[in-house]
Amino acid sequence: MTLLELITKVKDETLSREDLEKYRDQLSNLFSSMQLEMATLEKGEARFMAEPRMSGDSVAQRKVAWKGLPSGQRLIELKRYALATKEMINSLKSRIYDKIY
């Protein structure tokens, strides 16, 4: 299931506690996967910034160049997806708590 599919399903206000827990677990697993991919991309960014051919460029110029690459674009997306996913997980936790008490 994709992130967008999960977000759509989580918005349903009539979900049972079991469904909420299942979606929380799926979002938690997805969040972990995103964090691991972000780490890999950030390592690539560090290697890119340290390349000798970039030594004449300023740090700002190198950052702009990195963000223009497909890996840099993916990192930008993942950071926003991770923030949204974290908020969804917190929302699910609150909804589960409300179902319990």
Q: Are the C-beta atoms of residues 85 and 31 closer than 8 Å to each other?
A: yes
What CA–CA distance (Å, rounded) separates 44 from 26?
27
Q: What is the pLDDT of residues 20-78, one digit of tens each?
A: 999 999 999 999 999 999 999 999 999 999 888 767 888 899 999 999 999 999 999 99
pTM (predicted TM-score): 0.86
Please report which confidence band the pLDDT of residue 82 belongs to, taking 50, 70 and 90 as the band edges: very high
